[in-house]
């Protein structure tokens, strides 16, 4: 069953770029932005990640941490972080478990060919673990600013 706005997000564990596992419990008392994106080092995903990188200090001042999630490997995540000097955590959901919980693993279509992939989506979880806002089918332009504005209203 997909996670819904206004409800507590169930705890989950996911591996991050340095090989450790993190869980939602690790962010108790903090706000959390989780953004799901299709693939490391592609134009839209790079622009989105760099947008979060550039505004990360403003998010941190509001007790808000950022996690990017894709199906890329931990090794690929580390290369992406190093290449663009990303200053937040990237988590790997190679099995799509977390993607399915957040209902972002979708059938997509390109040039008439259907395939499964991550629908670019962002979720804002408050310090009590409640999903307070979700953005689906995200367009990268101005998205980070929109998320930051929502965080500033907390």
Helices 43-61 & 74-84, crossing angle to 10 degrees?
A: 70
Closest CA to 89 of 122, 73, 72, 67: 67
Q: Is 50 a catalytic residue?
A: no
For the four alpha carbons of 32, 15, 1 and 24, in that order, the dihedral sign comes to negative
In the set 24, 32, 45, 49, the catalytic residue is 45
Q: In this structure, are residues 56 and 66 in contact, taking their beta carbons and an 8 Å threshold?
A: yes
Positions marked catalytic: 45
């Amino acid at each position: 069953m997909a996670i819904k706005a206004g409800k507590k997000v169930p705890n989950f564990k996911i591996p991050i770029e340095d090989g450790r596992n993190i869980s939602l419990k690790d962010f108790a008392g903090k706000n959390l932005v989780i953004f799901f994106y299709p693939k490391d080092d592609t134009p839209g995903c790079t622009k989105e990640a760099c947008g979060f990188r550039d505004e990360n200090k403003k998010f941190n001042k509001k007790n808000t941490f950022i996690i990017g999630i894709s199906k890329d490997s931990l090794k690929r995540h580390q290369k992406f972080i190093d290449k663009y000097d990303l200053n937040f955590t990237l988590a790997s959901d190679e099995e799509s478990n977390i993607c399915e919980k957040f209902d972002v693993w979708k059938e997509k279509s390109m040039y008439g060919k259907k395939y499964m992939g991550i629908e670019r989506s962002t979720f804002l979880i408050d310090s009590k673990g409640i999903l307070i806002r979700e953005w689906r089918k995200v367009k990268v332009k101005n998205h980070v600013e929109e998320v930051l504005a929502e965080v500033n209203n907390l």
